[in-house]
Structure 1
Amino acid sequence: MSELKKEIHKRRTFAIISHPDAGKTTLTEKLLLFGGAIHVAGAVKSNKIKKSATSDWMEIEKQRGISVATSVMGFEYNDHKINILDTPGHQDFAEDTYRTLTAVDSVIIVVDSAKGVEAQTRKLMEVCRMRHTPVMIFLNKMDRDGKDPFELLDELEDELKINVCPLSWPIDSGQRFKGVYNIFEKRLDLYTPSKQTITESVGLKDINSPDLEKYIGGSLASKLRGDIELIEEVYPHLDIDTYLKGEVAPVFFGSALNNFGVKELLDCFIQIAPYPRPVEAIERVVNPEEETFSGFIFKIHANMDPNHRSCIAFVKICSGKFERNVNYKHVRLNRMLKFSSPTAFMAQKKETVDEAYAGDIVGLPDTGNFKIGDTLTAGENLHFKGLPSFSPEMFKYIENADPMKSKQLQKGIDQLMDEGVAQLFTNQFNGRKIIGTVGQLQFEVIEYRLLHEYGAQCRWEPISLFKACWIESDNADQLADFKKRKSQYMAKDKDGRDVFLADSNYVLMMAQQDFKDIKFHFTSEF
């Protein structure tokens, strides 16, 4: 096996997704603890301890206690290189999460065992299904009273439309939670509530052994035996191929806050999760084991370090090996660029890397060369697909509140829009700028960041719109006629494409009926 192949097979790149408050950031932190990447788990929510979670580092995240930007972290564990992308759970930032899912090979979904599957989790699962991404599920908060485990499995199957295969099984829950039986490794893991410790585990190859009673008592032992028998009859045995096709999801139970069940999840994950997969480009399918480098930008983050006005573009490496100070082709600009200080991340701590392999995520300092979806290659013209912008649902005019700072405001808006925080439309009728977002919280984030990172003040003015849709047509006369009739509602996006701003569902439906030759698109990728 070549050196390149060996490195690529060691890589596991995955995203952790869930509804807000299911415990995603806590789980990320515990995984980092096992990787030796951090040495103490900061209590995520407690304000007494001013250590906020390792993966939340933007000022506004620390104030709100939620994740608003995807963060990237890498660590080594058992001779594997693991890259985690911790995504925002809050639905106002769903677009960032959708884009992140294009850069990972598999996903871990965290579900709160008391609340079950929530709306946001359902939506994210749809994106995984569209892309056939393999999924594992971690049922969190078993140390709190929650739903019956069998009921939870039914709910996962109904709501997420995927078959499940439990690989561990809880012994009671809430106050009486005793631990789990690890079906995957045939052993008993006993629970002791503590933030830092790893649990004691007992190798029990045979669940019918009388030793079981010694550990958990008679009534729980017979219930556990009954449950396991039922599981073996009802649920499929773990078949790695069906998991890799995204058809069956292995399920683990545990408590991320108390570091219970996390190691089992991680141990199983590195054994069965996929190493980097082939990626589809418009021209051809790119195989990760190719010698030549290729990758795409799936995220841009301005001001990771507030003292330096710097942007960082996150590149997912799709094939080959990336090296520092080597010339690579920026396909859209048709220019060769070389990078003297590419970085790898551990949340905010970043270090310069000399080389990285397919599956890794590297940060490149960006002086305005990159947009989301750009491709870098060793010279070939490739365009990776599948990085959409969705049609926004909330709109406001953005106005300058401080005439002395119009340049700063312009620069701030441009950078934040390139980052994909929101979308900018310029009304062709009156030249006013309109910001479109997926959720209300994004307006607050934009205002906060413009003020704190660019020293610019903006003010919002209401505008009543229903949807923005991109339009195109082969019938030039009809397109011109449409633009003339709807001139007050025509805008351009930041790439200069035509956008129709419909002010109601009725208007949009009538337009689609009256102008048969015009295509109305609700994502920008067409």
Structure 2
Amino acid sequence: MSFLNLGIVAHVDAGKTSLTERLLYAGGVIDSLGSVDAGSTRTDSLELERRRGITIKTAVASFPLRDVTVNLIDTPGHPDFIAEVERALRVLDGAILVVSAVEGVQAQTRVLMRTLRRLRVPTIVFVNKIDRAGARADGLLRDLAAKLSPRIVPLSTPRDLGTPSATALPALPSGRIVELTGDDQLLTSFVRDERSLPYRKILAELTRQSDVQPVFFGSAVTGAGVDALIDGLATLLPTAGGDPEGPVGGTVFKVERDPAGARVAYVRMFSGTLHVRDRLPGGTVTAIEGRDTLPAGEIGRVHGLRDVRIGSFPPSADAQLFAPPTLSTVVVPKDPADRHALHTALTELAEQDPLIGLRRDDEIAVSLYGEVQKEVIETTLAEQYGIPVTFRETRTIHIERPAGTGGAGATLGEYFMAALTLEVSPGAGVEFELDVPIEQVPIHVFRTAEFFREALESAVRTTLARGPHGWPVTDIRVHVTRTGFRSPATTAADFRKLMPIVLTSALRRAGTTVCEPIHRFRLDGPVTTLGATLAALGRLGAAPESSEAGPAEYVIRGRVPAARLRALEQAIPALTHGEGVLESTFDSYRPVAGRP
């Protein structure tokens, strides 16, 4: 049996969950179609998802397609939950990008297609809602080519567009397919005898290499065009690869809790075969739902990994696909007696979404992508954990970077039964170096120099979570040049407690620069509003860097502080008569002006 791990991604409200429901119905998995509006869809299992009519958590469902089992991964569309999408994209063999025939290409649509193309995930575009009033075809195809990919190939043509009876007829633009190959020999054969070429085979090869993006029109609600889409899934997208006999390797892309509170890991295997009783970084596998093994290419729910974390095994330094969250808020229990329970609950939520970035010192704070995510956290804490909470004002997350070099040290017995000398200086990320002779390593406590280094580095990273100005410290090099101990009196706790004292002292001597996050933005709007928009951007804190004006539309590119992005988003509809589209991505950090 072959497997296809298929993701469905879209801007919010494009009809992604409705398409998931339609595919499951066509595959015979469900007996009747659920409705997003009625809260009865299969993949939106959370009560909050059903109430709001949006997908919040990635969901997985399977259906048979000829001789292939499709693992269908429904992802959130709202940008506040982009971290869920990122984890899903790492385990896909192919994707369907859903675009509304009414709203067309939206900001999140662009971000998703850009990421899919960068990862070279074979992608089919499904233009949904052809039955809705205002649906477009030719103009939308031009937008797809201009804003998503110039290498689109329409494989269906809509009829009776914008009416309940809208349908989509198959199309096979043979000349377009040959043109996109860039193969002169094929072009010659096409001119000589157009009927001699295997166009579907050529198109399948180009799609599987992520060189073209086929486009189907249809409606997930009425089912129009869905049969052609399903045929495209079977013939155009690649099935999962990987050697079941190779070394064990895979990715945990989702963690949830079962009714008993135990962790359940969603695992995609890329190599080897996972067995019950195998040991992984998060523990020992006690069960794999519905089977005894999980071979390469498959997705399964794995039990027994008590300390499992989202990520790859063996560990790999995967680059982050989307921007880190740039907002933060303090969570306050309405009943002060719930403080410990609140921290426990947020710790569980951080297991499911590591980018929540839980921090606890005098207060409990979480990282956010937006206000909708804050509302979801509030509702989840109240309904699932019975902890009513309030939030302080949302703030922009800043970072601190060392402004220079600084050193500090402590002698044996000055604070604890340990000695430590170190120096901090500018670096890249967080760099840690232990540079001491073996006789300065307390072997009676840590057994090896490597265990000692790991313990000190852990204490360093914990300390750097809050710098002199209260923000995380990064782009720093910490160089430990001397340690000391007394056997057998010195314990691991002595070094763990001493490191924050010495490191904080060194940071204060070096000084730190507080930096704010900056977003790069692109704004499309009607050319008649260009002058007014350019004049207003400066007042909104944005810095335009280039502008291009066409006959009907303009494009402005520039940078804006993350703290001003929300105000810019709110102003765009009025500035552009409701026609502007703002797309933003994290760019960099820069020093704040004035006193931090």
TM-score, length-scaled by structure 2: 0.63
Matches within 5 A, 1:19-418: 19-46=11-38, 52-175=40-163, 177=165, 179-183=167-171, 239-277=203-241, 287-301=242-256, 303=257, 307-323=259-275, 325-330=276-281, 337-340=284-287, 342-343=288-289, 352-365=290-303, 368-375=306-313, 381=314, 383=316, 385-386=318-319, 390-418=323-351
Which amino acid letter does the alignment assign opposite residue 13 of structure 1?
Answer: N
For 1:428-468, what per-residue CA distance to the aligned partner results, in whole angstroms no more than 9, with x for missing partners? xx643321111111111112212222222332112533545
- Alpha-carbon distance in 1 for matches of 2:212, 2:514: 41
Distance of aligned partners of 1:45 and 1:415 in 2 relative to their CA distance in 1, 3 Å threshold:
same
- Alpha-carbon distance in 1 for matches of 2:60, 2:72: 6
For 1:203-242, what per-residue CA distance to the aligned partner results, in whole angstroms no more than 9, with x for missing partners? xxxxxxxxxxxxxxxxxxxxxxxxx799789877653232
* Secondary structure class of the residue paired with 1:300: strand
Which amino acid letter does the alignment assign opposite residue 409 of structure 1?
Answer: L
Distance of aligned partners of 1:103 and 1:500 in 2 relative to their CA distance in 1, 3 Å threshold:
farther
2:590 aligned partner: 509
What are the ranges of 5 or more consecutive residues in structure 1 without an aligned counterpart?
Answer: 1-6, 185-227, 278-286, 344-351, 376-380, 513-526
- Cα distance, 1:469 vs structure 2: 7.6
* Secondary structure class of the residue paired with 1:408: helix
**Do 1:138 and 1:252's aligned partners in 2 also have CA atoms closer than 8 Å?**
yes
TM-score, length-scaled by structure 1: 0.71
Distance of aligned partners of 1:432 and 1:41 in 2 relative to their CA distance in 1, 3 Å threshold:
same
Of residues 430, 440, 450, the one that matches 2:371 is 440
Of residues 357, 379, 384, the one that matches 1:453 is 384
Distance of aligned partners of 1:353 and 1:38 in 2 relative to their CA distance in 1, 3 Å threshold:
same
Does 2:468 align with 1:487? yes
- Alpha-carbon distance in 1 for matches of 2:356, 2:166: 50
Which amino acid letter does the alignment assign opposite residue 22 of structure 1?
Answer: A
- Cα distance, 1:117 vs structure 2: 0.8
**Do 2:465 and 2:472's aligned partners in 1 also have CA atoms closer than 8 Å?**
no
Higher radius of gyration, 1 or 2:
2
- Alpha-carbon distance in 1 for matches of 2:122, 2:96: 9
- Alpha-carbon distance in 1 for matches of 2:207, 2:174: 22
**Do 2:124 and 2:215's aligned partners in 1 also have CA atoms closer than 8 Å?**
yes
Distance of aligned partners of 1:58 and 1:490 in 2 relative to their CA distance in 1, 3 Å threshold:
same
- Alpha-carbon distance in 1 for matches of 2:151, 2:10: 18
Distance of aligned partners of 1:452 and 1:468 in 2 relative to their CA distance in 1, 3 Å threshold:
farther
Distance of aligned partners of 1:463 and 1:269 in 2 relative to their CA distance in 1, 3 Å threshold:
closer
- Alpha-carbon distance in 1 for matches of 2:465, 2:28: 62
Distance of aligned partners of 1:447 and 1:328 in 2 relative to their CA distance in 1, 3 Å threshold:
same
Give the superposed CA RMSD.
3.6
- Cα distance, 1:504 vs structure 2: 7.0
Distance of aligned partners of 1:503 and 1:267 in 2 relative to their CA distance in 1, 3 Å threshold:
closer
- The aligned length equals 421
For 1:110-142, what per-residue CA distance to the aligned partner results, in whole angstroms no more than 9, with x for missing partners? 111111111111111121122111110111111
Distance of aligned partners of 1:433 and 1:252 in 2 relative to their CA distance in 1, 3 Å threshold:
same
- Alpha-carbon distance in 1 for matches of 2:317, 2:267: 12
Distance of aligned partners of 1:268 and 1:367 in 2 relative to their CA distance in 1, 3 Å threshold:
closer
Which amino acid letter does the alignment assign opposite residue 21 of structure 1?
Answer: D
1:462 aligned partner: 393
* Secondary structure class of the residue paired with 1:316: strand
What are the ranges of 5 or more consecutive residues in structure 2 without an aligned counterpart?
Answer: 182-198, 407-422, 431-463, 475-499, 519-560, 562-587
- Cα distance, 1:95 vs structure 2: 1.5
**Do 1:373 and 1:387's aligned partners in 2 also have CA atoms closer than 8 Å?**
no
- Alpha-carbon distance in 1 for matches of 2:400, 2:253: 22
Which amino acid letter does the alignment assign opposite residue 326 of structure 2?
Answer: E
* Higher normalized contact order (CA 8 Å, seq sep 6+, divided by chain length): 1
For 1:240-277, what per-residue CA distance to the aligned partner results, in whole angstroms no more than 9, with x for missing partners? 23212222101111111011211211122112211124
* Secondary structure class of the residue paired with 1:264: helix
